[in-house]
């Protein structure tokens, strides 16, 4: 399966957003698409776990009420169909995979 011109354009925009201007020099092909898919899959795993992280407790809040509210919020975040990823998850995953992208861009 070959990428269309529009798909290549969108993939390049995404990679430049994540990795900066150096991604303009990277080839945009099926292999780079597959690596980007892997990045997003890994980021989703992180985002799924982030749904379970309690948010900060406001100053002066009742700890028992705050904890009960956080448990409800965690459950709601977990059951809703989230379409996005947490930015921190995309950033950390992209940093971890940067070498893979550079090697793929170099044809290795």
Looking at residues 27-43, what average pLDDT do you find?
A: 90
The pLDDT assigned to 38 comes to 92
Euclidean distance between CA atoms 47 and 38, whole angstroms = 14
Residues 6+ apart with CB under 8 A from 57: 63, 66
pLDDT digits (tens, 9 = 90+) for 47-66: 888 877 788 888 888 888 88
Per-residue model confidence (pLDDT) at position 47 = 84
- Please provide the average confidence, as pLDDT, over all residues in the chain: 85
Specify the pLDDT at position 1: 60
pLDDT of 74: 75
């Amino acid at each position: 399966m070959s990428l269309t011109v529009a798909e290549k354009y969108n993939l390049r925009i995404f990679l430049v957003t994540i990795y900066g201007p150096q991604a303009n020099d990277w080839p945009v092909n099926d292999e780079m698409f597959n690596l980007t898919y892997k990045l997003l899959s890994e980021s989703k795993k992180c985002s799924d776990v982030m749904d379970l992280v309690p948010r900060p407790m406001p100053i002066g809040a009742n700890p028992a009420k705050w904890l009960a509210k956080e448990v409800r919020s965690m459950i709601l975040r977990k059951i809703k169909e989230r379409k996005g990823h947490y930015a921190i998850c995309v950033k950390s995953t992209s940093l971890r995979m940067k070498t893979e992208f550079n090697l793929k861009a170099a044809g290795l």
